[in-house]
Structure 1
Amino acid sequence: MSVDSLSLQDLGRMQEIAGVLMRHGLGEAVRRLGMVDALERAGHVLKRENAAELARLSPPEQVRRAFEELGPTFVKLGQVLAGRGDLLDADWLRELSKLHSKVPPVPMETLRPQLREDLGGEPETVFAWFDTEPLAAASIAQVHRARLHDGTEVIVKVRRPGIEAVIESDLRLLQRLAGVAERQWPALVPYGPQQLVREFARSLRRELDLAAECRSAERVAGNLAPLGFVDIPRVHWAFTGARVNVQDRVDGLPGEDLAAVDAAGLDRKVLAQRGAQAVLKMIVEDGYFHADPHPGNVFYLPGNRLAFIDFGMVGRLPPRRREELLDLLLGLVQRDPPAVAEVLLDWTGDTRGVDLAELESAIEAFVDQYHGTPLSQLNLGRMLTEVTDVLREQSLTLPGDLALLIKAFVSLESMGRGLDPDFHVAQEALPLLQRVLRARYKPKALGQRAWQAALKLASTAEKLPHDVSRLLRRARHGQLRVGLELAHLQRVGDQLDRAATRLSMAIVIAALIIGSSIVMTVGGGPTLFGLPAFGFLGFVGAAGGAIWLVRSIRREKRHDD
């Protein structure tokens, strides 16, 4: 890692990160990532002592504690990784799922200058009432209660001052460290650490924009409006921007307080079914979904209604992905191994170096184990988690949007089971999947897809003369480059080499046989067993060569089989 290209802020942050990691027993990783050498060249010295009690912790727990101490960027990274069963095994997932930010709220006097700038005045005058004590505090923002002058109760979400600069510095360092990690640990290359950091950076930057969260909330509210039983807090755009947003305060029962749900006389079974219907509609029909539907982001309202909050993390599924997801879920629910295998192979993309036959066999064995299981007993969340385990064993990874999708399904299953022990996502999903499948093959839908395909074909045909002209022009100027990749070229060369060796041996054997036959017809000279010695030895050599040739061919055939 180059010290010269690091700013003073990045260098200081790297020293802090390295110090925390070493304190938590991760000194070897720090040294292999080149952080110690880089800091020492810059004149910084790190203490290389680890507390004895930390050394006794498991690696997942060491990393989890280090991430919590390092702050919002690393806490968010750990939370993202906690949903990546295609990258990490169960011990890591279990530990990283415990991550939470232990951050005190920002004092009001520290927050006030930024809030005054964003609101255009003192919060006590902009609002009829403003609570200076925060309702909740997290790593990126904290929430205050307030009341508008028309009497509407609202919450004011305020981004922590200076947090953007810290996160940007962390993201720059993470991108550098990901590159070093790929060089130091080649086994990580199939998992794409640099691509993972880029996807994480895009997601975290969106989460920093509190106005983007409100746009997502309004989009989901419009999509779920036809259901009639889901509330999304209304946004007050006059007070909302990148660093602050104002939304209606939800007056409901928190999703974690099941005792209050029972005391209020709400029907848990209905709440579980409606929650599943809402989340499945977001994913399967709309392709735009709340990526973290855990109980902390859900409130229960009178009349068995639900409210979703906190749309900082959302997932997007384009139409093609939704069709693939539909095929996958139907394959899982209907126990159709070939359908599941086909979708997963499409999703994983680059399968070079992977034994496809073994992968397909593993997927089919996984799906087949559920053959004959009643639909009411299928745990779809666990099935999707097991699918990612199969991919991880083959060193294959899922795209980031699909990892968010599986996380949403797992959260939905867990939340539904908390409300109703007999809840099963598969049972709730099947009617929706079948309805969407029928809609896919309606004449109108088929006609629309055919029309889109025709337009795309016409566009390609229209561009063809221009593309051919450009190709010929580049060829005339010597700018045309042709890349040829021969798969298994080394293996082909080895086979040709063995074939040439066998051919040479066959020629030698034939020469020995012919020469020995001639010598046998010539009288005189030494004899063995009453036969001319040279002729006899020639036949023995030919026989030995023939035995070697036959064994070589049979050995290669067994290897290929």
Structure 2
Amino acid sequence: MLIETLGSARDLGRLNEIAGVLMRHGFGDAVRRLGLADTLARAGHVLHRDHADELARLEPPQQVRRALEELGPTFVKLGQILAGRADLFGPEWIAEFARLHSRVPPVPLDSLRPQLVEDLGAEPEAVFARFDAEPLAAASIAQVHRAQLKDGTEVVVKIRRPNIRDKIEADLRLLERVAGAAAESWLALEPYRPRELVREFARSLRRELDLATECRNAERIAANLAVLPEVTIPRVHWAWTGERINVQDYIEGISGENLDRVSRQGLDRQLLARRGARAVLKMIVEDGFFHADPHPGNVFYLPGNRIAFIDFGMVGRVAPRRRDELLQLLLGLVEREPQAVADVLIEWTGGQHVVHLAQLEDEVEAFVDQFHGVPLAQLKLGDMLAQVTTILREHRLALPADLALLIKAFISLEGMGRGLDPAFNMAGEALPLLRQVLRTRYEPKALAQRGWQALRSTLAVASQLPHDLSQLLRRARQGRVHVAIEVAHLKRTGDLIDRAANRLALALVVAALIVGSSIVMTVGGGPTLLGLPAFGLLGFLGAVAGG
């Protein structure tokens, strides 16, 4: 049971709170199956039923969203991540997760001041020529204040909420245990790899808690996009930047959420769509390091049809091998080559849990083939990627987390492009860059470099081979060669038998206490407690506690 796996009592209060929220939103059965039933008695004081009738009328996706909102920043962030997992959830779930927001009431400046003084080395009014007490925005992890440096530069100061790390770390510990318990309790979840999903989420959230990491991400992307003068990334002021605070240039522009103002200011929306697509495609396909949350609130449009990206707390990374596979997938979609798409998807999912591999290949080929002869300008690459993930979900296949993040970025990018220009052609923008990167990968210099790396690796393995064989033979002569076979379902069955045996043993002890105490109660003499034989009464109390 989950409660038995807790290493200490430090998380019990938060566990109580989580159990209460889940019960309140109609997930009592899940609470019990996850092993949280023992905490319900303690959580009883928070199990208010004021909105039970209203909650009963909600659909499950709505109930989950409302529960995540009530559980706080860690769970809201988890829901926002799941909003990009169309390979795991259907459209109705994705729509609800997308509604999650992390806007919360701001922390008063007086409450932030001790942390600010510690991080800045002085009062904010002494460090900055001007520091606005009212924040521009407040989210679950940090809030942003506008300020001015003493040289007149307008900046934004991002401040992490006090003590937020402790609460998030407690939530992450519990999530990791819940994922393990869920994987054991519901075998149907195994293809979705809940443990891996939570581990990836925990790594991402911990990076987001370090505000200096966000600035390093910004500078890396700024260096990669230096060849695109129409793209602006806020400059970082490292003298006042650390784990709990960062200071960056203030971007004066039009938010991507205010497209009407873009038109009123006379900006070229078609050009903005193409430039934004070019920048994000370069990040993904060419650089392998990209802004993983390019929604309209993180994009500003500037005079001269320039574009600024902000908030690099969440970034994605694409390894060179993954980049080659991505090129093959995107070119397969754009050039309508179904076998290339099927090969990449099977490679990405590892072929796990595919009962009918041929059927999956046939469905992917039929899906891609339906676009044969469709003009390039009419292809919607984001929609095509979304449909591909739907096919995977129907076959109970899950993408690796990094690829799910990448596909979400592609879909968001096309949505933003079509918001600016309904005739925006993502496939047409992507194809030239894809072909260019592919040609670069197969230039003589690149081939020679990869060949040299492969040769070095082969020689290293070959040079180590005699030593490894010698060790193997020596251990075989000494009888020290062992073969380990792990049967996952057999281990799970053994665990269940072990738990049942423990409960049976406890039941026998309780039964013995009841029988023995009943005998003692009928025997006169000896010490008494509340007028009853003391040993008999203590035996009954022990039986109650053990049961």
- Counterpart code for 1:271: L
Which residue of structure 2 aligns with residue 115 of structure 1? 116
Which residue of structure 1 aligns with residue 198 of structure 2? 197
Separation in 2, partners of 1:344, 1:51: 43
Query: Is 1:33 the equivalent of 2:41?
Result: no
Structure of greater Rg = 1
- The alpha-carbon deviation at position 233 of structure 1 amounts to 0.3
User: 1:341-360 residue pairs with structure 2 within 5 A?
Assistant: 341-360=342-361
Which residue of structure 2 aligns with residue 528 of structure 1? none
The Cα offsets for residues 258-312 of structure 1, whole Å up to 9 and x where unpaired, read as: 1211121110000000000000000000000000111100001111110000000
Deviates more, 1:349-358 or 1:436-445: 349-358
The Cα offsets for residues 468-500 of structure 1, whole Å up to 9 and x where unpaired, read as: 2222233233232346899xxxxxxxxxxxxxx
Which residue of structure 2 aligns with residue 542 of structure 1? none
- Which SS does the other structure have where 1:285 is aligned? helix
The Cα offsets for residues 211-268 of structure 1, whole Å up to 9 and x where unpaired, read as: 0000000000000000111110000011000100000001111111112111211100
Please say if residues 11 and 39 of structure 1, whose CA atoms lie closer than 8 Å, have aligned partners that are also in contact.
Answer: no
Please say if residues 157 and 246 of structure 1, whose CA atoms lie closer than 8 Å, have aligned partners that are also in contact.
Answer: yes
- Counterpart code for 1:104: P
Separation in 2, partners of 1:13, 1:273: 47
Which residue of structure 2 aligns with residue 497 of structure 1? none
Which residue of structure 1 aligns with residue 507 of structure 2? none
User: 1:416-495 residue pairs with structure 2 within 5 A?
Assistant: 416-482=417-483
- Which SS does the other structure have where 2:247 is aligned? strand
- Which SS does the other structure have where 2:86 is aligned? coil
User: 1:78-477 residue pairs with structure 2 within 5 A?
Assistant: 78-477=79-478
Deviates more, 1:16-25 or 1:213-222: 16-25
Separation in 2, partners of 1:437, 1:181: 42
- The alpha-carbon deviation at position 188 of structure 1 amounts to 0.5
Which residue of structure 1 aligns with residue 529 of structure 2? none
- The alpha-carbon deviation at position 2 of structure 1 amounts to 2.3
Please say if residues 75 and 101 of structure 1, whose CA atoms lie closer than 8 Å, have aligned partners that are also in contact.
Answer: yes
Task: Give unmatched runs, 5+ long, in structure 2.
Answer: 488-547
- The alpha-carbon deviation at position 318 of structure 1 amounts to 0.8
Please say if residues 214 and 235 of structure 1, whose CA atoms lie closer than 8 Å, have aligned partners that are also in contact.
Answer: yes
- Which SS does the other structure have where 1:306 is aligned? strand
- Counterpart code for 2:107: V
- The alpha-carbon deviation at position 3 of structure 1 amounts to 5.0
Please say if residues 3 and 39 of structure 1, whose CA atoms lie closer than 8 Å, have aligned partners that are also in contact.
Answer: no
Separation in 2, partners of 1:420, 1:407: 20
- The alpha-carbon deviation at position 462 of structure 1 amounts to 1.6
- Counterpart code for 2:31: V
- Which SS does the other structure have where 2:159 is aligned? strand
Separation in 1, partners of 2:128, 2:298: 25
Separation in 2, partners of 1:7, 1:156: 37
CA RMSD of aligned residues (A): 1.7
Query: Is 1:47 the equivalent of 2:55?
Result: no
- The alpha-carbon deviation at position 4 of structure 1 amounts to 7.3
The Cα offsets for residues 146-168 of structure 1, whole Å up to 9 and x where unpaired, read as: 11111111000000001100100
Please say if residues 39 and 45 of structure 1, whose CA atoms lie closer than 8 Å, have aligned partners that are also in contact.
Answer: no
Separation in 1, partners of 2:197, 2:236: 32
- Counterpart code for 1:90: P
Which residue of structure 1 aligns with residue 514 of structure 2? none
- Which SS does the other structure have where 1:155 is aligned? strand
Please say if residues 20 and 43 of structure 2, whose CA atoms lie closer than 8 Å, have aligned partners that are also in contact.
Answer: no
Deviates more, 1:198-207 or 1:46-55: 46-55
Please say if residues 191 and 352 of structure 2, whose CA atoms lie closer than 8 Å, have aligned partners that are also in contact.
Answer: no
Please say if residues 36 and 46 of structure 1, whose CA atoms lie closer than 8 Å, have aligned partners that are also in contact.
Answer: no
Please say if residues 16 and 43 of structure 2, whose CA atoms lie closer than 8 Å, have aligned partners that are also in contact.
Answer: no
- The alpha-carbon deviation at position 27 of structure 1 amounts to 2.2
- The alpha-carbon deviation at position 380 of structure 1 amounts to 0.7
Please say if residues 338 and 368 of structure 2, whose CA atoms lie closer than 8 Å, have aligned partners that are also in contact.
Answer: yes
- Which SS does the other structure have where 1:266 is aligned? coil
- Counterpart code for 1:336: E
The Cα offsets for residues 294-341 of structure 1, whole Å up to 9 and x where unpaired, read as: 110000111111000000000000110000000000000001010001
Please say if residues 233 and 309 of structure 2, whose CA atoms lie closer than 8 Å, have aligned partners that are also in contact.
Answer: yes
Please say if residues 290 and 313 of structure 1, whose CA atoms lie closer than 8 Å, have aligned partners that are also in contact.
Answer: yes
- The alpha-carbon deviation at position 106 of structure 1 amounts to 0.4
Separation in 2, partners of 1:323, 1:144: 42
- Which SS does the other structure have where 2:406 is aligned? helix
Separation in 2, partners of 1:225, 1:118: 31
Separation in 2, partners of 1:474, 1:312: 50
The 1:353/1:224 distance shift into structure 2, 3 A limit, reads closer
Q: TM-score normalized by structure 2?
A: 0.86
Please say if residues 130 and 146 of structure 1, whose CA atoms lie closer than 8 Å, have aligned partners that are also in contact.
Answer: yes
Please say if residues 19 and 40 of structure 2, whose CA atoms lie closer than 8 Å, have aligned partners that are also in contact.
Answer: no
Which residue of structure 1 aligns with residue 530 of structure 2? none
- The alpha-carbon deviation at position 28 of structure 1 amounts to 2.2
- Counterpart code for 2:54: E
User: 1:491-506 residue pairs with structure 2 within 5 A?
Assistant: none
Please say if residues 341 and 363 of structure 1, whose CA atoms lie closer than 8 Å, have aligned partners that are also in contact.
Answer: yes
Separation in 1, partners of 2:133, 2:37: 43
- The alpha-carbon deviation at position 184 of structure 1 amounts to 1.8
Percent identity, please.
67
The 1:484/1:102 distance shift into structure 2, 3 A limit, reads closer
- Which SS does the other structure have where 1:85 is aligned? coil
Separation in 1, partners of 2:485, 2:114: 61
- The alpha-carbon deviation at position 8 of structure 1 amounts to 4.1
Which residue of structure 2 aligns with residue 546 of structure 1? none
Q: TM-score normalized by structure 1?
A: 0.84
- Counterpart code for 1:312: G
- Counterpart code for 2:200: E
- Counterpart code for 2:71: L
Separation in 2, partners of 1:485, 1:363: 34
Please say if residues 252 and 302 of structure 2, whose CA atoms lie closer than 8 Å, have aligned partners that are also in contact.
Answer: yes
- Counterpart code for 1:358: Q
Please say if residues 272 and 419 of structure 1, whose CA atoms lie closer than 8 Å, have aligned partners that are also in contact.
Answer: yes
Separation in 1, partners of 2:475, 2:3: 39
The 1:467/1:352 distance shift into structure 2, 3 A limit, reads farther
The Cα offsets for residues 2-28 of structure 1, whole Å up to 9 and x where unpaired, read as: 257354441111111111122222222
- The alpha-carbon deviation at position 43 of structure 1 amounts to 8.2
- Counterpart code for 2:124: P
Deviates more, 1:29-38 or 1:269-278: 29-38
Please say if residues 380 and 413 of structure 1, whose CA atoms lie closer than 8 Å, have aligned partners that are also in contact.
Answer: yes
- Which SS does the other structure have where 2:225 is aligned? helix
Separation in 1, partners of 2:7, 2:48: 23
Separation in 2, partners of 1:335, 1:363: 11
Please say if residues 298 and 307 of structure 1, whose CA atoms lie closer than 8 Å, have aligned partners that are also in contact.
Answer: yes
- Which SS does the other structure have where 2:267 is aligned? coil
Separation in 1, partners of 2:475, 2:398: 38
Which residue of structure 1 aligns with residue 544 of structure 2? none
The Cα offsets for residues 33-89 of structure 1, whole Å up to 9 and x where unpaired, read as: 22232453x686663746201110000001101111111100000000010011111
Which residue of structure 2 aligns with residue 559 of structure 1? none
Which residue of structure 2 aligns with residue 71 of structure 1? 72
- Which SS does the other structure have where 1:142 is aligned? strand
The 1:157/1:48 distance shift into structure 2, 3 A limit, reads closer
Which residue of structure 2 aligns with residue 498 of structure 1? none
The 1:43/1:328 distance shift into structure 2, 3 A limit, reads closer
- Counterpart code for 1:13: R
